[in-house]
Structure 1
Amino acid sequence: MLRILHSLPRTHKFLLLPVATMVTVLGAQKLLTTYHDHSQSGASVESVFVPLADDAAPGVPSLAQAKTPVATAIDHASRLLDATRDKIPLSELQASEIIDLDVIDSATASTFEAPRPLPADRLAANTGARLDDGARHIAIVIGTLGSGMLAADSVSATDAQAPVADATSYEDYGIDNFDEVSFLPLEIAAQKTYVPQWKTHIVNTGETFAIMAKNELGMGYSEVLGLLDELPDPHMFTRWRAGQSFDYQVDKNGKLLTLKMMKNIRAGVLINRQEGGDLEVKAIERKGEPVQRLYAGSVSGSFARSAEATGLSSGAVTELTHLLKKKFDFRRDSRRGDDFQVLVESDMIDDETLDSRVLAVKYRGQRLDLTLVRSAMNDTFYTPDGHSLDPAFSRYPFDGSYRLSSNFNPNRKHPITGRTSPHNGTDFAMPIGTPVTAPAGGRVERSVKHYAAGRYVVIRHDNGYRTRYLHLSKALVKKGDRVEMGDRIALSGNTGRSTGPHLHYEVHVNNAPTNAMKVKLPENTRLHGDSLVAFQQHAKPMIAALESGDTGTVSVATSRHSDNGSDDG
């Protein structure tokens, strides 16, 4: 068969190759059997035999009597197979099936000689490579016949009404009315309303808000500057740290719509773009739920470590230590085994405790038995009978402990001249810039600079005492200012005639200098009348909680409660 095909002109090869391949590979008998297997129900492929007509030509039977599309196709196959055995007059070929018919008069072919089989090791390597385009074409034809579908051009005009197998689509749209189906997803997406999504930005090392706002928020430099001017605290965006984060939304063009940033769990800022395009800034303030909790422990070692062992926060321990040391010296007066109870109030926000503050404390030891309760009207601690723990006049004009470098000495002699050169104050060695605080309420008399005293401040207090502060690096008050106990009035320094950084502190009673470390100080304030009654009513549940000793969450009046009356002390 291959020799015949190779000997024919190109136009004949074009016509005969698909059919010759079909007959050679599958055989006409197999083609008929496959077709009838699909046409007759209940018959297996192995048992179907097709009856042939008495005058059927040898080789491929003819079904010319049955005018069907299949019969027509097989008739073509039979005639083409005969071409390999005998001549076919060119007059029987249709002009549409060949090209350049005038180049030959007839076509003949010799007997087909089967090619020598390939060795087994080469057969696998050549599998699939011996089928050319014609073989693939006839395979498609056979598949079409086997499924019951024929191409329209294979049906003759007389068989135009012949039934053809139903074609179908396996796409399941899931609805009955095709008109409701939109097969243009892009069109649907284009009609959706844009919904801005919240995104979170985490600040990177060295990142600036201006650059980030330009790249991710669609903001210009001038708009960023305008926004920073509107913020209650612009440092939130100009001094942020790596790891901080904020949430934001942008529109479909990538321009900022909303930005929310929290300075801490309690406070933050919300920025919204208005319809006109301007940015509106609102402060966020979250108020927590006040919760009271009782802590109890005993002294074992240092008081601070013993207090921390009860679960108190570091801030509460610091406040408690500062409070109690006004009354006694921990190193000298505290003893192992002393008991204490502390009532603390905190704000609870999202299961996090904030702003812990001591409401009441009870200390019972070998050398001290003390109960203190915070008053809501002035945030001052009082004993149950109304005595204030804060003195009317503080011994030291600063917080913390500093070395006393030179005592008060009115008879001090000058080391060189030998003359009496009184030292009317008390010197404390301290770093330059240490805050100096007012020991009591009063009014500033002087805030000037002197060649020997350096920069100095003088305060006349309400009880008639006068205090002086020399060698300051900076004064924080001016003449005529009113100050209260604990207010910052200056920063220590080393100005004037000074041998090193220190604070020179003087106390004058009846216009005469006295030893500030030994002078009798005015008595502390005390509640009287209605103020005392209101305080005791407020302190009653707190004292009961301290005496119960039941640690954990308790419910008592808080420090935010407002007492009636005023402080008569």
Structure 2
Amino acid sequence: MMRILHSLPRTHKLLLLPVATMVTVLGAQKVLTTFEDVQRDRQTLDTVLVPLDADASPGLPSLDTKRDAVSGALAKANQALDATRGHVPISALTASEVVDIDFIDAARANRSESGVPATLAMPAQNDASPRTGQAPSEGDTVRLDEGAQHMAMVIGTIAAGMLELEDGMVADATSYEDVTEDELALFDEGPIVLDQEIVANEPFVPQWQTYTVQSGDTFAIMAQQHLEMGYSEVMALLDTLPEPRLLTHWRVGDHFEYQLDEQGDLLALRMMKNARDGYLVERQQDDFEVATIERAGEATQRLFAGTISGSFARSAKATGLTSAEVSELSRVLEKKLDFRRDTRRGDRFQVLVESDIIDGKSLDPRVLAVEYAGARMNLTVVRNGEDNRFYTPEGESLDPAFNRYPFEGRYRLSSHFNPNRHHPVTGRISPHKGTDFAMPIGTTVRAPANGRVEKVGNHPAAGRYVVIRHDNGYKTRYLHLSKPMVSNGQRVTMGERIALSGNTGRSTGPHLHYEVLVNNSQVNAMKVSLPENQSLQGDRLVAFQRQAKPMLAALESGQTGSVVASTEQPATDDDEG
């Protein structure tokens, strides 16, 4: 009991003060017995004098009284009790206050036959006082006055050790009855640990765990040992996955995450192909369901600056640009810049690149703005978010209205446009009214300008082919294709994929036969005059210039590193190449 009381907070101790009052009843029995001993010795005693300090104020001690003051009062009270037994002369006490104990007669009147007081009480206000010698009549309620009750509560509280000293130490206290070790063992259930009790009552919540592939691991064995899966379940899971190679072709260090239920059976499996894309597999009764994962990154802009000192690609990579970013930068500039003739050592350039940052990795880089300051050319272009094309700050398009080549990259020109060409098989003059580019089968063919598909067909000599009529009135034809990617009447835009090159029809090898027709007559596609660049006007120009303003400001600042701060990857300055 005392161990529990001492472990409670102070507020709870005060709530248990009535219990301490019951303990005081036993102390009252001691006072009653002492009084009877004095009477047997024929000593006269109506009151017990409780000496207090000279500066003590009248009244009873309260719970607000300091510990040392209450303890001193109790010590002197004990002296008074000793005086009643004759151990100390009452005359030796300095009486500063008198505590009336006439309640003893009333207490004696209510004692049970066993000698233990059944009720300790003082008469009510309208009852006869015990001093008159008239005992309370049977059935009357005898009560302690408020002062005596308060004193009993204070004494019981201090005796129980339930008040703390000012320095944080607990007051001296002792048990009033011994308890054997065997009796303790009957009730000792160990300490109650609140954290363990809370955990025991909380519902089970599955947690994600990570498994890292070790040398010699296979998913089938790992699943049986760690995921409690049978061989048939493993095969069913692999059959459900769109890309089972993620689990069947492991490399040391690869990892995936999983959840288990309370019995240790697999609940869910999560694996990533890369930082952005992956799959989530969840168990649904006796089957598995697969959902795709696509993580959104934080768009971050970085500015790179460099100087030409050798090839453009090597100089650009020296600034810290990745291979993918250098490739896109080259595609942007080559529309206006000939890297072999126009670049000079010492030319300077700046590139503003935006990419998605996921787990500290840069994904999907996008060139936003470029500034090139060279001996032979100065050029500044900004990407327009509306059509993803590049324009000068004045709104002039970097892209021509009609591309010279219907593909990206460089491929060898295997046969020129030639009206007097000799046929490679018969040797007779057989005009070649197109331009042939040698390229592997399956190379992407793109529309050189906006237009509409006029014809998709197959011919014994031309093989599979596509014809497009463009908005400026020109027409283009593509022969010997392996696969058309458009259909009759379909609207296409500049740069859109329209077919895959091949070697169909009468052909001596894989290539693309490309024709440009003006007024329905074939012309030399490499020399024909193409429409001028298109420019932004009106509201489109205003919107573009508003969007381009912060990008141009970033170029003018010349401060390399992160322009838009990223929490996942701190800004770092890139050295100039």
Q: 1:481 to 1:259 in 2, by over 3 A?
A: same
Give the conservation status (yes or no) of the 8 Å contact 1:248–1:257: yes
Give the conservation status (yes or no) of the 8 Å contact 2:219–2:248: no
Instruction: Tell me the SS of whatever aligns to 1:372.
Output: strand
From 243, 248, 269, give the equivalent of 1:259.
Answer: 269
Moved more, 518-527 or 285-294: 285-294
1:479-490 residue pairs with structure 2 within 5 A? Answer: 479-490=488-499
Q: 1:228 to 1:462 in 2, by over 3 A?
A: farther
How far residue 420 of structure 1 moved from its aligned partner, in angstroms, is 3.1
Show the counterpart of 2:419.
410
Is 1:478 equivalent to 2:487 in the alignment? yes
Distance 1:205 1:427 in 2: 52
Show the counterpart of 2:187.
179
1:342-357 residue pairs with structure 2 within 5 A? Answer: 342-357=351-366
Give the conservation status (yes or no) of the 8 Å contact 1:438–1:485: yes
* Alignment RMSD: 3.4
Show the counterpart of 1:384.
393
Aligned residues: 376
Is 1:453 equivalent to 2:488 in the alignment? no
Instruction: Tell me the SS of whatever aligns to 1:330.
Output: coil
Distance 2:422 2:208 in 1: 77
Give the conservation status (yes or no) of the 8 Å contact 1:209–1:237: no
Distance 1:492 1:277 in 2: 47
Distance 2:434 2:548 in 1: 41
Give the conservation status (yes or no) of the 8 Å contact 1:403–1:429: yes
Moved more, 348-357 or 371-380: 348-357
Q: 1:214 to 1:382 in 2, by over 3 A?
A: same
Distance 1:553 1:351 in 2: 13
1:269-280 residue pairs with structure 2 within 5 A? Answer: 269-272=279-282
Q: 1:420 to 1:364 in 2, by over 3 A?
A: same
How far residue 295 of structure 1 moved from its aligned partner, in angstroms, is 1.1
1:492-511 residue pairs with structure 2 within 5 A? Answer: 492-511=501-520
Q: Which amino acid aligns with 2:435?
A: T
Show the counterpart of 1:299.
308
Show the counterpart of 1:319.
328
Q: 1:236 to 1:469 in 2, by over 3 A?
A: same
Deviations 1:424-472 (A, max 9, x none): 0111112222222221222222222222222222222222211111222
Instruction: Tell me the SS of whatever aligns to 1:355.
Output: strand
Q: 1:218 to 1:329 in 2, by over 3 A?
A: same
Moved more, 200-209 or 545-554: 200-209
1:60-75 residue pairs with structure 2 within 5 A? Answer: none
From 529, 534, 539, give the equivalent of 1:525.
Answer: 534
Give the conservation status (yes or no) of the 8 Å contact 1:205–1:241: no
Q: 1:456 to 1:548 in 2, by over 3 A?
A: same
Is 1:287 equivalent to 2:296 in the alignment? yes
Q: 1:258 to 1:328 in 2, by over 3 A?
A: same
Deviations 1:393-441 (A, max 9, x none): 1111111111111110112244776643111011111222222222122
Q: Which amino acid aligns with 2:265?
A: K
Unaligned runs of at least 5 residues, structure 2: 1-180, 566-577
Distance 2:215 2:506 in 1: 48
Q: 1:310 to 1:418 in 2, by over 3 A?
A: closer
Deviations 1:129-149 (A, max 9, x none): xxxxxxxxxxxxxxxxxxxxx
Distance 2:499 2:425 in 1: 33
From 355, 363, 383, give the equivalent of 1:374.
Answer: 383
Give the conservation status (yes or no) of the 8 Å contact 2:484–2:498: yes
Structure having the higher Rg: 1
TM-score, structure 1 length as denominator?
A: 0.59
1:2-13 residue pairs with structure 2 within 5 A? Answer: none
Show the counterpart of 1:24.
none
Q: 1:304 to 1:417 in 2, by over 3 A?
A: closer
TM-score, structure 2 length as denominator?
A: 0.58
Show the counterpart of 2:410.
401
Q: 1:210 to 1:234 in 2, by over 3 A?
A: farther
Deviations 1:219-249 (A, max 9, x none): 4677667767876x54574665434321112
Show the counterpart of 1:426.
435
Q: 1:494 to 1:234 in 2, by over 3 A?
A: closer
Is 1:462 equivalent to 2:443 in the alignment? no
